[in-house]
Amino acid sequence: MIQMIDRVEGDLELVALQEVCMAILSELDTREVFRLITEKARMLINAETVAIPVISEDRSTITYEEAAGKNRDLLKGMSLPMSEGGLCAWVVKHRKPILTNSLWSDNRINRELVKKLNVNEAIVVPLVFKGKIIGGLAAFGKAGGGGFTDKDLKLLTIFASHAAIAIRNSRLFKKMEELKRFNENIIQSMEEGVVIVDAEGFITFVNPVFERLTGYKRDEVVGKRADFVLPGLERHSQDRYEINFKKKSGKEVHLLVSASPLRGAGGTLYVLVDITDMKREQEKLMERMLSYDIKRGNLYLVKEKNYERSRSILRDMINCGFKGMVLSRLPVAEARRIFGEGVACYWLSEYGEGEDTIKPEPEVVETRIREFVTRTSVVLVDRFDYLITLWGFRSALALLQKLRDLAYLSRAVILISVDPATLDEREANLLEKETRAVGVKGEAELTEELYALLSFVHEQNLKGVKPSYKDVTRKLGVTRTTARKRVKILLGKGLLVEERAGRNKFLSVSEKGKRLIF
């Protein structure tokens, strides 16, 4: 049966993936970087063993520099000629990933090694930095049984791109530690931008890559305050963080910043990596994983009598890596129970108090949303009909028009939930002109007969009943054969779920089916 569009959920959501990536990027010791990569990757995709095969400079051998999990002692330190390197050697040579759950049927494997590993599942992805192959990231055996999935492959591929950066950075910093002093020649040759800021906050050095990243020449920035040239550079306590920066040309780029204190003379060395393309690809992946047809930079209208559909949309987006905020008439505790603990919830109340309460005034609502929105955020304004009643339609529409512009400029997603029964035809038309409707991806229109069947099952489910085939036949007034054919179509579309109890079969509507009904 076709399941819901694949999503990364629980502690393997994209948000968690980004946190894992930041963890490996926050370490500069090479051996610790390798250890963190294998451990975090193993937990990320629930693998028995994860190892890092690194190719030698002359490309003749691969060496498992580190491993984690069940077969760590077997793999760590093992060197093999490329001709005997199996799947890992093939991936390093061809720079293409491999996912297989039937190792023994693959003629590229090293059979002796696979026999010792005693597994039948593997994922191997290449580690590439700036077009140069470093090695690979290999997972062997799915913990708890079953096999690796395409979702595992996507996660490991994204993770590998961060791992390659971490390995590259740690190797460069290792060279600096070995020299035991700042060597300007190394900094000049780094493939990342470098800025040195003294203890007073003034820039004392930048390398040529910094000039290319920012558009500013050395003479334009040396001697200037760092927070003037690169706003946000010194406002973080972490060793690794991201900032948005506008180049001299006005183009916005996304930078990963690595900060290291300079002992002796004081000050800080900052390494800048342009991750704009990577962030865009991550954002595209997040959008592709959404079950709903939603694009960044838009304001959407959700017509509903209650919060069911907007909650479904919000949870779908959060499961795919978006950061969520809800402004609701529900008290905060109830809103968190409904929309999720990971969502920033605020109570729209004229009389409530506290930091989780927002006065239902147009300027206050607009300001709170403006302070929250980014390219990866989603905001839900629940019960917009309450604001219409409170302010009048003209003022509510004016706010809606501002929110539309705000969504576009910030590339965020804003959802407006409203009960259509509270609007007259003119008001509904005006709201629709300022907003978009939310669709479900990949859904074909159902025939009237199929929709009637789906609706009947849903109505019964709401009553706590799972109807049988016999119930469907009786309700719709069709033959048993016709009922079975229609149920089979809905099962195939992933809109119904069938459960067996002895010789009987009972039906319930899937989450995908509920979204279509909404």
Q: Quick: pLDDT tens for 126-162.
A: 999 878 898 999 999 999 888 999 989 988 998 888 8
- Average pLDDT of the segment spanning 355-379: 92
Q: In this predicted model, what pLDDT tens digit does every residue of 329-339 receive, in sequence order? A: 999 999 998 88
All structural domains of the chain with their residue ranges: 10-177, 181-278, 290-440, 448-517
User: How confident is the model over 55-84, as pLDDT tens digits?
Assistant: 988 889 999 999 999 999 999 999 999 999
Residue 100 has pLDDT above 50, yes or no: yes
Which residue is listed with tokens 């629709």? 432
SS3 label, residue 90: helix
Backbone angles phi, psi at 136, to 5 degrees: -145, 170
Reported confidence tier of residue 387, pLDDT bands at 50, 70, 90: very high
- Buried b / exposed e along 401-433 (16+ C-beta atoms within 10 A): ebbbebbeebbbbbbbbbeeeebeeebeebbee
Per CATH, 181-278 and 290-440 having the same topology is answered no
- In angstroms, the CA 243 to CA 256 distance is 7
Contacts of 401 (CB under 8 A, 6+ apart): 434
Distance CA(507)–CA(497), nearest Å, equals 6
Taking the C-alpha atoms of 252, 126, 43 and 288 in order, what is their torsion angle to the nearest 10 degrees?
A: 50
Distance (Å, rounded) from C-alpha 441 to C-alpha 438? 10
At 478 the pLDDT is: 86
Kindly state the tokens that stand for 247. Answer: 């180049």
Superfamily of domain 181-278: PAS domain (3.30.450.20)
Strand-pair category, 323-328 with 377-381 = parallel
pLDDT of 288 over the 90 cut = no
Q: How far apart are CA 62 and CA 77, in angstroms?
A: 10
pLDDT in tens, 400-431: 999 999 999 888 999 999 998 999 999 999 99
Residue 138 phi/psi, 5° resolution? -120, 130
The stretch 316-326 carries a mean pLDDT of: 87
Q: What are the helix (H) ranges across 46-149?
A: 72-75, 86-94, 111-117
Higher pLDDT: 401 or 463? It is 401
Tokens encoding 230? 């690169």
Cα radius of gyration rounded to whole Å, the chain? 28
* pLDDT the model gives residue 236: 58
Which are the contacts of 423, defined by CB distance < 8 A and separation ≥ 6? Answer: 385, 388, 431
Tell me the CATH class for 448-517.
mainly alpha
* Of the candidates 24, 43, 53, the residue with the CA atom closest to the CA atom of residue 127: 53
10-177 maps to which CATH number? 3.30.450.40
CATH code for the domain defined by 290-440: 3.40.50.300
Question: Helix 14-25 crosses helix 276-289 at what angle (to 10 degrees)?
Answer: 160
CA distance 260 to 270: 6
What confidence tier does 259 reach under pLDDT thresholds 50, 70, 90? confident
- The answer to whether the predicted template modeling score (pTM) of the entire model surpasses 0.95 is no
